RNA sequence: UCCCCGGUCGUCUAAUGGUAGGACAGCGGCCUUUGACGCCGUGAAUCGAGGUUCGAAUCCUUGCCGGGGAGCCA
């Protein structure tokens, strides 16, 4: 609907952020143009409270809330709580929390399919009276056999032609709790020969003597998803009911129920679910990882749950930017994890204050620096944001540097510290390595250097250059910390691709969590708040884990910085 | 075998009968008190075969490939 070529050109200009269109948005645009819903746009995000939300849900949340917001519409948060056996209040709470954290506001109040149980029941009676539904006594097993197969039509249930009176009576008694679980069902009377299995007299209600997290023991029959979802949309005046591709085959049934009931008819639109490399986005499998202890919980920073990636240090903005960039279509694709990491780096680069931390310390003694002297040097907090100011970092005779930043026998192109070579200590002095101290096994325990007092702050008055600037922490003032370094939870791009006889658990990455203790932080990091994020210079983005104690900080590595040296080195090794 | 939905650079996506474009990833370079960031450059695609058309990624036919579907789950 862009009004000119100019607009299109501007939108496509490199570097200009834009919300690309997509086919769902196009449908809404068209409906707005034709006045199909009198200009209304009302979407909904309908999770089942049977697990924690994950990054895949974030895509749906951003789509639903984003589209409504763009057109001045509303979005409901509705729990699809029609199966009390799997649903819990804990999940409701976490979902509400996660959606809010992501930065979206729903139309109050929070909705629940269970709010509509009475209405749904009345509608069921209406279909019975219309001769469109019947009580069936077939067992689950029998029903499966009667259903037919993908290639052969099914057979009609022997109970299909009960009278309206008998059906009404039986339905009432089902509701009254007269029958055990599974004894009977209420079924829609559609077409046992339909090529769409969902239309072969689908179950509307099943008997389930289970306590519901909201309605308690009021009900012992529960509507199936298909008999609840479309009507819930209808009740709420939803215009565009956006769901994932696997519900495509259910759309005819969705339409059938609202049409037979003669109620307001929203339109269901299906899009492709998010898949991410090295990541599992199946609630069932995520639950298994938690229950079997393969991870430390739903919010383990290795989990793709919103709670997990939040704890990992991802920001809502990064996730929203990612969701906005991946597009919406109907192709089954898999996004590379690297794209998500790109967006978190982009956001964190902009906002994270810089600090120095040494993860794998190597002691450095500066032989010509006065014993016992400590000076305070100025360090810039953010190289691209002057308003972030500066801080003081202590400097003294004994420091720690990263083990990776010293090589006794430096390979080609290695710029960092090695015997006889000079480097700059970030915001400090130039130092030159004079000797190496080793233990009995030949392991390097300490490096001795001299410093050039003229280079305070990092510049040489004589104009000489160094190839590298490395980070460091003064030993006497360092804060000890635990740092948790994460790799992907799975070793394969597709964790579901397994050897014969194995399951996805065989693809778990044994190195997905590395706990580093005795890491050395610059003192300004003392007392950093939980979830606070920083860039540890030259290493990556890190955030404070809630496991932290006042004198025992714990950091999570959110994502490493891009590392072109690692690439060069890897290439060299072939 | 039956029904539904898909197939555009390595990956995701745009082009809605009229120049196949962008992002990420890759590669090369510049810059640099982060081997970061940034900047510049570069390679890289319409599943196949027919047809309609002045013109096809787009429309038609057909084949191939991929995904989903036989819960009293959602």
* Cα separation, A416 vs A423, whole angstroms: 6
Residue A254 pLDDT exceeds 70: yes
Average pLDDT (A538-548) is 98
Tell me the pLDDT band of A572, cut-offs 50, 70 and 90.
confident
Average pLDDT, rounded, for chain A: 95
Token duo for residue A541: 């983005």
Tell me the pLDDT band of A336, cut-offs 50, 70 and 90.
very high
Average pLDDT (A202-219) is 98
Residue A3 pLDDT exceeds 60: no
Average pLDDT (A140-163) is 98
Higher pLDDT among residues A18 and A533, named by residue: A533
Q: Is the CB of A452 under 7 A from strand B?
A: no
Average pLDDT (A512-528) is 97
| Sheet arrangement for strand A430-438 | A469-470, A422-425, A430-438, A444-451, A361-366, A398-402, A472-474
- CA A279, A58, A97, A115 dihedral sign is negative
- What's the pLDDT tens digit per position in A38-75? 999 999 999 999 999 999 999 999 999 999 999 999 99
Instruction: Give Dmax (Cα) for chain A.
Output: 102
Residues 171-200 of A with CB under 7 A from strand B: 181-185, 195-198
Total number of residues shown for chain A: 574
* Cα separation, A299 vs A54, whole angstroms: 10
Residues of A that are catalytic: 48, 273, 283
**Closest nucleotide to A416's CA, by C1' atom?**
B35
**Closest nucleotide to A225's CA, by C1' atom?**
B74
What pTM, to 2 d.p., does this model score? 0.95
Considering only CA atoms, which residue is closest to the C1' of nucleotide B13? A327
Residue A272 pLDDT exceeds 60: yes
What angle in degrees, to the nearest 10, is found between the helix axes of A225-236 and A117-129?
110
Q: Give the pLDDT of residue A488.
A: 98
Give the up-direction half-sphere exposure of residue A211: CA atoms within 13 A in the CB hemisphere.
4
- What's the pLDDT tens digit per position in A167-183? 999 999 999 999 999 99
Token duo for residue A69: 């917001």
* Cα separation, A510 vs A499, whole angstroms: 17
Q: Give the pLDDT of residue A335.
A: 98
Give the closest residue to A479 by CA, choosing from A358, A390, A339. A358
Q: Is the CB of A541 under 7 A from strand B?
A: no
* Residue A370 per-residue DSSP state: P
- Å between A417 CA and B44 C1'? 39
Token duo for residue A371: 């014993």
Give whole-number Cα distances, A256 to A120, A251, A483, in Å: 15, 8, 56
Alpha-carbon Rg for chain A, nearest whole angstrom, is 31
The answer to whether the beta carbons of residues A92 and A111 sit under 8 Å apart is no
- Å between A368 CA and B62 C1'? 83
Secondary structure, 3-state, A403-470? HHHECCCCCCCCCCECCCCEEEECCCCEEEEEEEEECCCCCEEEEEEEECHHHHHHCCCCCCCCCCEE
Question: What ipTM does the predicted assembly reach?
Answer: 0.97
Q: Is the CB of A155 under 7 A from strand B?
A: no
The answer to whether the beta carbons of residues A530 and A548 sit under 8 Å apart is yes
Q: Is the CB of A15 under 7 A from strand B?
A: yes
Residue A16 pLDDT exceeds 70: no
Token duo for residue A450: 């001299």
Give the up-direction half-sphere exposure of residue A458: CA atoms within 13 A in the CB hemisphere.
14
The answer to whether the beta carbons of residues A404 and A418 sit under 8 Å apart is no
Cβ of A445: how many Cβ atoms within 10 Å?
A: 11
Q: Give the pLDDT of residue A6.
A: 26
Residues 34-73 of A with CB under 7 A from strand B: 48
Q: Is the CB of A423 under 7 A from strand B?
A: no
Q: Is the CB of A344 under 7 A from strand B?
A: no
Please count the helices (runs of H) and the strands (runs of E) in chain A: 14, 25
- CA A96, A98, A101, A106 dihedral sign is negative
* Cα separation, A121 vs A128, whole angstroms: 11
Tell me the pLDDT band of A12, cut-offs 50, 70 and 90.
very low
**Closest nucleotide to A563's CA, by C1' atom?**
B35
Phi then psi for residue A213, to 5 deg, are -65, -15
- What's the pLDDT tens digit per position in A553-568? 999 999 999 999 999 9
Q: Give the pLDDT of residue A21.
A: 84
Percent of chain A with pLDDT over 70: 96
Token duo for residue A215: 């309605």
Residue A8 pLDDT exceeds 50: no
Higher pLDDT among residues A409 and A499, named by residue: A409
Tell me the pLDDT band of A19, cut-offs 50, 70 and 90.
low
**Closest nucleotide to A202's CA, by C1' atom?**
B72
Q: Is the CB of A135 under 7 A from strand B?
A: no
Q: Which bases along strand B come within 7 Å of a protein CB atom?
A: 1-8, 10-16, 21-27, 33-40, 66-74
**Closest nucleotide to A561's CA, by C1' atom?**
B36
Residue A9 pLDDT exceeds 50: no
**Closest nucleotide to A18's CA, by C1' atom?**
B22
Residue A204 pLDDT exceeds 70: yes
* Cα separation, A223 vs A125, whole angstroms: 13
Residue A190 pLDDT exceeds 80: yes
Q: Is the CB of A244 under 7 A from strand B?
A: no
Residue A93 pLDDT exceeds 90: yes
Secondary structure, 3-state, A183-213? CCEEEECCCCCCCCHHHCCCEEEEECCCCEC
Q: What angle do CA A153, A154, A155 make, to 5 degrees?
A: 130
Whose tokens are 């060069």? That residue is A568
Q: Give the pLDDT of residue A14.
A: 30
| Domains in chain A with CATH codes | 1-271 (3.40.50.620), 275-351+479-521+526-574 (2.40.240.10), 353-478 (2.40.240.10)
Residues 365-384 of A with CB under 7 A from strand B: 382-384
């Amino acid at each position: 609907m862009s009004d000119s070529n100019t607009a299109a050109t501007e939108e496509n200009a490199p570097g200009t952020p834009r919300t690309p269109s997509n086919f769902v948005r196009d449908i809404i645009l068209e409906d707005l143009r034709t006045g199909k819903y009198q200009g209304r746009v009302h979407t909904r995000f309908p999770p089942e409270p049977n697990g924690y939300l994950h990054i895949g849900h974030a895509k749906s949340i951003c789509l639903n809330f984003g589209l409504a917001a763009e057109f001045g519409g509303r979005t409901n948060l509705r729990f699809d709580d029609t199966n009390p056996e799997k649903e819990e209040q804990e999940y409701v709470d976490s979902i509400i929390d996660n959606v809010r954290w992501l930065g979206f506001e729903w139309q109050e109040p929070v909705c629940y399919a269970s709010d509509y149980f009475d209405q749904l029941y009345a509608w069921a009676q209406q279909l019975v009276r219309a001769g469109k539904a019947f009580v069936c006594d077939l067992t689950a097993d029998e029903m499966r056999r009667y259903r037919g197969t993908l290639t052969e039509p099914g057979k009609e249930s022997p109970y299909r032609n009960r009278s309206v009176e008998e059906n009404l009576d039986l339905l009432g008694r089902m509701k009254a709790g007269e029958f055990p679980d599974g004894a009977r069902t209420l079924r829609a009377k559609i077409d046992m020969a339909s090529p769409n299995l969902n239309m072969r007299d689908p179950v509307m209600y099943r008997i389930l003597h289970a306590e519901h997290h909201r309605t308690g023991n009021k009900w012992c029959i529960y509507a199936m998803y298909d008999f609840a979802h479309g009507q819930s949309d209808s009740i709420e005046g939803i215009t565009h009911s956006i769901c994932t591709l696997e519900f495509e085959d259910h759309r005819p049934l969705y339409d059938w129920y609202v049409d037979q009931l003669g109620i307001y008819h929203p339109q269901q639109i299906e899009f492709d679910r998010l898949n991410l490399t090295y990541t599992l986005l199946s609630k069932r499998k995520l639950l298994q990882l938690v229950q079997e202890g393969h991870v430390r919980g739903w919010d383990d920073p290795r989990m793709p749950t919103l709670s997990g990636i939040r704890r990992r240090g991802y920001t809502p903005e990064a996730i929203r930017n990612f969701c906005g960039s991946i597009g919406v279509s109907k192709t089954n694709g898999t996004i590379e994890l690297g794209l998500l990491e790109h967006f978190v780096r982009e956001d964190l680069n902009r906002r994270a204050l810089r600090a120095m931390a040494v993860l794998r310390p190597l002691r450095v003694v500066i032989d010509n620096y006065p014993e016992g002297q400590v000076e305070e040097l100025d360090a810039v907090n953010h190289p691209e944001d002057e308003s972030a100011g500066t801080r003081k970092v202590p400097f003294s005779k004994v420091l720690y540097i990263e083990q990776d930043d010293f090589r006794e026998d430096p390979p080609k192109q290695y710029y960092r510290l090695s015997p006889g070579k000079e480097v700059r200590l970030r915001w400090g002095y130039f130092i030159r390595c004079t000797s190496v101290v080793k233990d009995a096994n030949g392991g390097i325990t300490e490096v001795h250097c001299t410093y050039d007092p003229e280079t305070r702050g990092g510049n040489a008055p004589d104009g000489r250059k160094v190839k590298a600037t490395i980070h460091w922490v003064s030993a006497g003032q360092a804060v000890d910390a635990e740092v948790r370094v994460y790799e992907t939870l799975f070793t394969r791009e597709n964790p579901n691709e397994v050897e014969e006889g194995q399951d996805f658990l065989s693809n778990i990455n044994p190195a997905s969590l590395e706990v580093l203790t005795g890491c050395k932080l610059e003192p300004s990091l003392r007392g950093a708040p939980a979830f606070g994020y920083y860039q540890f210079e030259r290493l990556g983005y890190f955030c404070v884990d809630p496991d932290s104690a006042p004198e025992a900080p714990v950091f999570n590595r959110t994502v490493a910085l891009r590392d072109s040296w690692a690439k060069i080195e890897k290439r060299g090794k072939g």
